[in-house]
Amino acid sequence: MTDQVFGKVSKVVCVGAGYVGGPTCAMIAHKCPHVTVTVVDMNKDKIAEWNSDKLPIYEPGLDEIVFAARGRNLFFSSDIPKAIAEADLIFISVNTPTKMYGRGKGMAPDLKYVESVSRTIAQYAVGPKIVVEKSTVPVKAAESIGCILREAQKNNANLKFQVLSNPEFLAEGTAMKDLANPDRVLIGGESSTEGLQAVAELVRIYENWVPRERIITTNTWSSELSKLVANAFLAQRISSINSISAVCEATGAEISEVAHAVGFDTRIGNKFLKASVGFGGSCFQKDVLSLVYLCESLNLPQVAEYWQGVINVNNWQRRRFADKIIAELFNTVTDKKIAIFGFAFKKNTGDTRESSAIHVMKHLMEEHAKLSVYDPKVQKSQMINDLAAVTSADDVTRLVTVETDPYAAARGAHAIVVLTEWDEFVDLDYNKIHDNMQHPAAIFDGRLILDQKALREIGFRTFAIGTAPDQAYNLFGTAGY
């Protein structure tokens, strides 16, 4: 019988206290009271926020779980060496953004943070460690981590490492629900005896709340690739329905009716078929580009081109929507006040990474529109920084104001543009809003959340993704665009 190299896990550490590390570890601490969970980060301010009354991220249900477990079996710390030395199992949950320099610029994920954590683990580890890749990485990234760790093993016989892949599938806005009740947990590892032991230890953690049949174990490379493929398939569905939204606008078919009819086929399914102003968020674009880059590197240009199409349609959809706004506002938005409802990349999050709002607003700013933005969860400084990064600080100062209520944002505006599907936008008093706008007043619904008929009865001109521009015909005798 082979010795057990990795003992029962009682101390878990997560490097990276972000959107994944924080919620995931809060859930592990909540579900495994016998395990001590420490989340570390090189960003001391962020750790201070995790230890304060106002957590650094907004996620429904997160506060309750953190406040109950913090100080009991959940800790946030910036003492990375100590945490690593004490851990039985270490999650690497650092960011892997698209590289913005050098080889693979704009395509490949930047793995410098993952490598840096691997070196820190190699430096401070004092005994056997299961190292778990939770960050989203390209296939074979575990090999690089393993190579760095094996080097440390050469100089210290007490060290033993196994690298597992355990990608995260939570979606922001529903992270706590997704973590509490995941469709599946995926764990990839080596088929060696030690590899199987390490996999079994991680399975044992998840088994505290996830039914065993939903915990899938595979080889390391299948696990790494499955994460990229899952995001690519999800993003592809959105680009598919968005491409059809343009056909609807040109024909009189309704995108929500088409999505409903098509999604009723159980083979297709009804989820992720909501036409929109384009997908945003920190993952879809980055991970599809990572897959494209991987395929190019593997000399598979046809596969790369196929997935690149998903990104191209998304960029086109954002541009198309902005062009539609300009066209329907009589081909000029110069100096016109336009209210922007929503800046986050989806509802129930304050995250703005790759939000379509940034891109649509950029296009409108290029036409010198005056934008007045309201979002219930995004800080003003975040909006200013995001927009300045794609335009200029001067343009933002000149063209953008940020309001703390939607009525103020819409007052005196020529149009309202809905870019995030916040529930509160559905229940606003649109009679009151209409009264205080310039006339004719228009609403562009990039999220298909508003009742177009009710708005038209109030007097709005309405334009929704995937809906034929019949008003444009009726009012102005043009086909819109």
Ligand X SMILES: O=c1ccn([C@@H]2O[C@H](COP(=O)(O)OP(=O)(O)O[C@H]3O[C@H](CO)[C@@H](O)[C@H](O)[C@H]3O)[C@@H](O)[C@H]2O)c(=O)[nH]1
Ligand Y SMILES: NC(=O)c1ccc[n+]([C@@H]2O[C@H](COP(=O)([O-])OP(=O)(O)OC[C@H]3O[C@@H](n4cnc5c(N)ncnc54)[C@H](O)[C@@H]3O)[C@@H](O)[C@H]2O)c1
113 is a site residue for ligand Y (CB under 6 A): yes
93 is a site residue for ligand Y (CB under 6 A): yes
Buried b (16+ CB within 10 A) or exposed e, 124-147: bbeebbbbbbbbbbbbebbebbbe
Beta bridge partners of 89: 12, 130
For ligand X, give the closer residue by CB, 24 or 372: 24
Q: How far is the C-alpha of 172 from the C-alpha of 331, rounded, in Å?
A: 36
Place of tokens 């990349």: 345
Q: State the pairing for strand pair 337-341/415-418.
A: parallel
The amino acid at residue 253 is A
Which stretches of 85-202 are assigned E, i.e. beta strand? 89-92, 129-133, 161-165, 185-189
**Whether the Cβ atoms of residue 193 and residue 6 lie closer than 8 Å to each other:** no
173 is a site residue for ligand Y (CB under 6 A): no
Figure out which of the listed residues 88, 110, 133, 172 binds ligand Y, where binding follows CB under 6 A.
172
246 is a site residue for ligand X (CB under 6 A): no
Figure out which of the listed residues 116, 222, 382, 401 binds ligand Y, where binding follows CB under 6 A.
116
42 is a site residue for ligand Y (CB under 6 A): yes
14 is a site residue for ligand Y (CB under 6 A): no
Give me the sign of the Cα torsion angle 36, 40, 44, 50. negative
Tell me whether residue 15 is annotated as binding.
no
Residues 6+ apart with CB under 8 A from 385: none
15 is a site residue for ligand Y (CB under 6 A): yes
The residues that are catalytic are 283
Q: Residue 81 CB: number of other CB atoms within 10 A?
A: 12
For ligand Y, give the closer residue by CB, 136 or 162: 136
For ligand Y, give the closer residue by CB, 238 or 417: 238
Figure out which of the listed residues 41, 110, 249, 367 binds ligand Y, where binding follows CB under 6 A.
41
Which stretches of 7-160 are assigned E, i.e. beta strand? 11-15, 36-40, 74-77, 89-92, 129-133
Figure out which of the listed residues 21, 22, 109, 280 binds ligand X, where binding follows CB under 6 A.
280
**Whether the Cβ atoms of residue 127 and residue 159 lie closer than 8 Å to each other:** yes
Residue with the shortest CB distance to ligand Y: 18
For ligand Y, give the closer residue by CB, 170 or 419: 170
Task: Choose one: 53-61, 209-217, 280-288, 293-301; the region binding ligand X (CB under 6 A).
Answer: 280-288
Tell me whether residue 142 is annotated as binding.
no
Q: Residue 158 CB: number of other CB atoms within 10 A?
A: 9
Tell me whether residue 277 is annotated as binding.
yes
Token pair belonging to 5: 């190299």
Residues 6+ apart with CB under 8 A from 329: 336, 338, 414, 415, 442
94 is a site residue for ligand Y (CB under 6 A): yes
96 is a site residue for ligand X (CB under 6 A): no
Q: How far is the C-alpha of 248 from the C-alpha of 125, rounded, in Å?
A: 58
Which contacts of 296-299 are long-range, i.e. CB under 8 A and separated by 24 or more positions? 296/107
Which DSSP string do the residues of 264-279 spell out, in sequence order?
TSTTT-STT----S--
Figure out which of the listed residues 172, 201, 375, 445 binds ligand X, where binding follows CB under 6 A.
172
391 is a site residue for ligand Y (CB under 6 A): no
Figure out which of the listed residues 40, 114, 234, 419 binds ligand X, where binding follows CB under 6 A.
234
Tell me whether residue 349 is annotated as binding.
no
117 is a site residue for ligand Y (CB under 6 A): yes
For ligand Y, give the closer residue by CB, 175 or 383: 175
For ligand Y, give the closer residue by CB, 44 or 432: 44
Token pair belonging to 262: 């098509």
Tell me whether residue 60 is annotated as binding.
no
Token pair belonging to 148: 């760095």
For ligand X, give the closer residue by CB, 88 or 178: 178
Task: Choose one: 156-164, 166-174, 376-384, 437-445; the region binding ligand Y (CB under 6 A).
Answer: 166-174
Greatest C-alpha distance within the chain: 83
For ligand Y, give the closer residue by CB, 172 or 249: 172
Task: Choose one: 38-46, 140-148, 185-193, 403-411; the region binding ligand Y (CB under 6 A).
Answer: 38-46
354 is a site residue for ligand Y (CB under 6 A): no
Q: How far is the C-alpha of 370 from the C-alpha of 353, rounded, in Å?
A: 22
- Residue 42's binding partner out of ligand X, ligand Y, none, with CB under 5 to 8 Å set by partner kind: ligand Y
Residues that bind ligand Y (CB under 6 A): 15-21, 41-43, 46, 93-96, 113, 116-117, 135-136, 168, 170, 172, 282-283
Residues that bind ligand X (CB under 6 A): 136, 168-172, 231, 234, 238, 272-274, 276, 279-281, 283-284, 345-346
Please report, in range form, the residues annotated as the binding site for NAD(+): 16-21, 41, 46, 94-98, 135-136, 172, 283-286, 353
Please report, in range form, the residues annotated as the binding site: 16-21, 41, 46, 94-98, 135-136, 168-172, 227-231, 267, 274-280, 283-286, 345-346, 353, 447
